[in-house]
Chains A and B, each alone.
Chain A
Amino acid sequence: MIPSSFEYMRVSTVAEAIDALRHDTDAKVLAGGHSLIPAMKLRLSQPSKLIDISRIPALNFIRDRGKYIAIGAATTHGTIATHKTTVQKLPLLAHAASMIGDVQVRNMGTIGGSIAHADPAADWPAVLLAAGATIVVEGSTGVKKIPASEFFVDFFTTQLGEGELITEIHVPEPTVGTYRQAYAKFVQPASRFAIVGCAIQFELKDGVISNAHVAYNGVLACAFRDAAVESSLNGQPLTEATIENAASKAGAGSNILSDNFASAPYRAHLTKIYTKRALQSCLA
């Protein structure tokens, strides 16, 4: 790779990182580099400086804080896929993490990097929406907690402001046994990013669905929850008929993405199919 020239600095604390960001508005934060480096290779991104946060210990952890699990922003997908806490308490996240890229990608790429980049096809945004996560952001003016449902704004665009750094992701622990979760995706065969991903979480009490979160990636400019699909589930028994009805509501929006691998009508169709498949996996 022959990027344009840049400075490189490695920081060991969040404060140092934020300070460095404040002093250079053309700087970029480097964690796993799996989105940034390819863009730099093609010179689509030409940052003046890379601030390497991958070795900040305070950003690399998974901790059970009682009401929620906190995940440090520089935690790799591979760690989330295999860490005891995520595997036991956040199985949706562990499962989704295990489906990202390949082993090499999972060992380098980080959850914070992925959501900061906000690729419409990335897995994490939909999964965090379904899981009801909160994104913790730190800047020179202090700490903000942004619900995932407000964080993703548009193509590669989030609520992350200039000079701010994602530090943690907080994910409420679903009550095991009464919650059902799933993530299913149809992948683009070259990049293996999602053409359509569907992440689902709902409560199941006495066979009846409530509190449904149904979120998608790959379909629109950014990940989103589909209220129509969710309301078609809430209050209904978990049956094939309910699933069919919910799936029929999916993929109804306008501005559905279109590319060489999937036109908008095909993507809309896949959205229904993967809604159905994700829900069917909850039947077991």
Chain B
Amino acid sequence: MSNTNYIGQSPKRVEDKRFTTGNGRYTDDIVLPNMTFAHFVRSPHAHAKIVSVDTSEALAMKGVVAIFTGQDMKKTGIVGVPAGWQVDFINGDRMKEPPHALLVWDKARHVGDGVAMVIAESRAAARDAAEAVVVEYDVLPAVVNAAKAVHDNAPLVHDDAPNNKAFDWTLGNPIGEVDAAIAACAHVTTLEFTNQRLSPNAMEPRCAIGNYDQYNEKYTLYTTSQNPHLTRLLMCAFVLGIPEHKVRVVAPDVGGGFGSKIFHYIEEAMVIWASKQINRPIKWTSTRTEAFLTDAHGRDHVTKAEMGFDKDGNVKALRVNTFANLGAYLSTFGPAVPTYLHGTLLQGLYTTPKINVKVTGVFTHTTAVDAYRGAGRPEATYLLERLMDKAALEMNRDPAALRFQNFIPPFDGVTQPGYVTQVALQYDSGNYGPVLERGLEMVGYENFRAEQAAARKKGKYLGIGFSTYIEACGIAPSAVVGALGARAGLYESAQVRVQPTGKVSVYSGSHSHGQGHETTFAQVVADKLGIPMSDIEIVHGDSEAVAFGMGTYGSRSLAVGGSAIVKSIEKVLEKGAKIAAFKLEAAVEDLEYANGKWTVKGTNKSIGFGDVALTAYVPHHYPAGLEPGLDFSSFYDPANFTYPFGCHIAIVEVDIETGKVKLNRFIAVDDVGNVINPMIVDGQIHGGLAQGIGQAMFEEVLYDDDGQLVNASYMDYTMPRADDLPMFETDRTVTPCPHNPLGVKGAGEAGCIGSTPAVVNAVMDALHPFGIKDLVMPMTPERVWRAIHG
């Protein structure tokens, strides 16, 4: 590799020096002078009237600075935190969007709802005083299941949302056409299931520091956010009504988010608001229990899905009806996840001509549900891929062959148009056969069925499961999402500032919280500018440093944020060429740029990037009419989503005496478009696989009928661990994205989107001799054992 040819290489991650030595700087590491500490009094009940809140004893305790209650917040007129996406009812009625108060004063609507904020000189004093706040509750019946919450007699979460419906929504072909197509099918495969609720479990719990500077009338919020600018916009414009230019939001090192740190949370608004009241900085750090109770959860769909086939096994129709649990309040992207990130993916990789999906968004007395790694797309993939394997078993077809038969034919999106789906998307480029072919080759499918039969004779129950998925990421064209109800644009910004010495500072609106942007983005810049990576600094996460940003989620950072960087680099090189041409006394058209220098074609006359940068800032001898400086900003709004796809194959062994499932092998062949850093992409895939497999085998947020979250600890909520997983066998095909300058599609969520149904399909394949056709996730030992033993 030449020293500036960085794209496609796997340099070690720049950020790991500080992370692996414990020297990252997270929000909780920040200590401000005169800082106070907050602890929230939270409802222990899922649904209760707040009769009274008595803070007198707590206020008298040592070290207590202030206590704010729901009644205090009611007096401010602050309505609460809004949703960031509006999905109206099919009949045109507006989405029900009951306010999510910063502290509730009338009713608590889920366990963990904020009732009061106690501020003290130390964390311990705040917590001690919080225990002394006496709240009298009138406990009311609760409902936690979305399908039950729509019943007429179900307790209401919000009085103005009848049947607990926030919206209902449909997409695809008219239901009459789909009903007719299904009725005409030779075979219909049906699945009724719950895609269970998950807790996101970022390693770093949420944390927020609010600091009001009375002399400059400025606020600073340090927060664990995936998108500090979006948080600033929401908090300033829609929650607190404070001037945006007087608010700085900083998201320093952030230890994982998986979606849960996209959203603007009440604690962020409270520390900012209260810091002005007490004129001191306030830090709030979530405990792990609070993280389980208040970080937005993921999934939680109750779905019926039917897939119809003709006698030859061609998919002819798909009908899906989902009740999506939104929790007690609409979180930032809550309404978008089960609709535009779920319904739109139901074409999958197949040529299904008729598709209809209906989704009912439902309030329950539970923690809000929002985007969690994959966000809607895992739910769509799960139902499609479970249907495919189940249909293959029912029709006595090979599940791989059934998929090959139904794949959309290849298209590159350049010479051939993108594929227009029945559910509102146009896929960018795709070549789906090769990922499954490669997967079959890696797994040794030819021999597997014989091995499986031989193993069964010895009492060993092996199973194989497939998942061939597509997802839509690189979120998103602003005009498209705006038309679909988004209240924000989804472009990205980047500034490339060349310093006088030729060193480069890049200011990105993307936010790295584990993804390795400081490495990948630097590789892109180094490669395009032909300079060493060590000459490049990536700056992100500070609204005062970065012009604007939409942040990191939806596998968008490289496809959107990286493209914005490329646009700014192009501007740098365009201006640099003018300066170089002047210095070299040549025409711009006669120059070529390579390896960090402009050369007059066919000569050895050249000028380096550093010399041009210095000239731009010391413009003594300089082109007339050209501005000094070498510093460009760009906003990049993508033309389309990007559509990674792939094939995941699981092989499991079920211990039929105990019901325990062991994942023996996992093969993942993903196509994420062009790859900048293969090591980082592998890491993203591995992490995604672990979370997707976690859903299939281990994870589930459990509420009892009273709305208590009964497994809110790591003693009770099963996270996948390294020793639960085999060594992943991964490979890639490369189908470049035709509409962004890097040709990249996104890798952050693919592993999580594709893997879950592969594991469940494998378990079902293993259990086929017992006549078991479906089990709800996760595949816990007792559940599997009960299925086997009736």
Give residues in A with beta carbon < 8 Å to B: 2-5, 38, 42-43, 186, 189-191, 193, 260-263, 266, 269-270, 273
Contacts and interface: CB of A to CB of B under 8 A. Distances in A.
A2 B287 contact: yes
Contacts of B124: 2-5
Nearest to B287: A2
A190 B717 contact: yes
10 contacts: A2-B123, A2-B127, A3-B124, A5-B128, A42-B289, A190-B698, A190-B717, A190-B718, A266-B781, A266-B785
A260 B711 contact: yes
A275 B786 CA distance: 20
B715 A191 contact: yes
Contacts of B786: 266
A190 B780 contact: no
B712 to A, nearest CB: 10
A136 B710 CA distance: 38
Given A5-B128, A273-B657, A266 B782 contact: yes
Given A5-B128, A260-B710, A261-B780, A269 B716 contact: no
Contact of B658 (A191, A260, A273): A273
Nearest to A189: B718
B767 interface: no
Nearest to B124: A2
B719 interface: yes
B164 to A, nearest CB: 26
Contacts of A261: 780, 782
Interface in B251-275: none
Contacts of A262: 781-782
B780 A186 contact: no
Contacts of A4: 124, 128
A273 B715 CA distance: 24
B445 interface: no
Interface of B: 39, 123-124, 127-128, 131, 287, 289, 657-658, 660, 698, 702, 710-711, 714-719, 724, 780-782, 785-786
A273 B789 CA distance: 14
B756 to A, nearest CB: 17
Interface of A is mostly: loop
Contacts of A260: 702, 710-711, 716
Contacts of A3: 124
A263 B659 CA distance: 13
Contact of B719 (A38, A190, A193, A273): A190
Sorted from nearest, which 4 A-B pairs have the closest CB atoms? Answer: A190-B718, A191-B715, A189-B718, A2-B127
Contacts of A43: 131
Nearest to B698: A189
A249 B187 CA distance: 49
Nearest to A43: B131
Contacts of A190: 698, 711, 714-719
B718 A270 contact: no
B716 A191 contact: yes
A261 B714 CA distance: 13
Most buried by A among B123, B710, B781: B781
A4 to B, nearest CB: 7
Contacts of B287: 2
A174 B123 CA distance: 52
Choose among B39, B660, B717, B782 the residue with the greatest number of A CB atoms under 10 Å from its CB. B782
Nearest to B126: A2
Given A190-B718, A262-B782, 10 more contacts: A2-B127, A189-B698, A189-B718, A189-B724, A190-B711, A190-B716, A190-B717, A260-B710, A260-B716, A269-B785
A36 B716 CA distance: 17
Contacts of B702: 260
Contacts of B780: 189, 261
A186 B782 contact: no
B597 to A, nearest CB: 53
B35 to A, nearest CB: 16
B284 to A, nearest CB: 12
A186 B715 contact: no
Contacts of B781: 186, 262, 266
A5 B123 CA distance: 11
Contacts of B289: 42
Nearest to A192: B721
Contacts of A273: 657-658
Contacts of B724: 189
Nearest to B702: A260
A64 B781 CA distance: 42
Most chain B beta carbons < 10 A, residue from A3, A4, A43, A260: A260
Nearest to A267: B782
A33 B718 CA distance: 22
A42 B39 CA distance: 14
A191 B123 CA distance: 28
A273 B39 CA distance: 47
A186 B782 CA distance: 12
Nearest to A1: B287
A186 B658 contact: yes
A251 to B, nearest CB: 13
Contacts of B714: 190-191
A262 B660 CA distance: 12
Contacts of B127: 2
A3 B715 CA distance: 18
Contacts of A189: 698, 718, 724, 780
Given A4-B128, A189-B698, A263-B782, A270 B658 contact: yes
B549 to A, nearest CB: 34
A231 B660 CA distance: 30
Nearest to A259: B716
Contacts of B698: 189-190
Contacts of A191: 714-716
A202 to B, nearest CB: 23
Nearest to A186: B658
A261 to B, nearest CB: 7
Contacts of B658: 186, 270, 273
B104 to A, nearest CB: 23
Among A4, A190, A266, max chain B CB count under 10 A is at: A190
A190 B515 CA distance: 26
A190 B716 CA distance: 6
A263 B710 CA distance: 16
Nearest to A196: B658
B132 to A, nearest CB: 12
Nearest to B660: A186
A203 B720 CA distance: 40
A105 B657 CA distance: 30
A186 B657 CA distance: 12
Contacts of A186: 658, 660, 781
A270 B789 CA distance: 13
Contacts of B782: 261-263, 266
Nearest to B780: A261
A93 B781 CA distance: 28
A2 to B, nearest CB: 5
B759 to A, nearest CB: 15
B100 to A, nearest CB: 26
Contacts of B39: 2
Contacts of B657: 273
A84 to B, nearest CB: 27
Contacts of A42: 289
A105 to B, nearest CB: 12
A164 B724 CA distance: 41
A80 B759 CA distance: 38
A277 to B, nearest CB: 9
A266 B659 CA distance: 10
Contacts of A2: 39, 123-124, 127, 287
Contacts of A193: 715
A205 B710 CA distance: 50
Nearest to B123: A2
Nearest to A263: B782
A93 to B, nearest CB: 23
Nearest to A3: B124
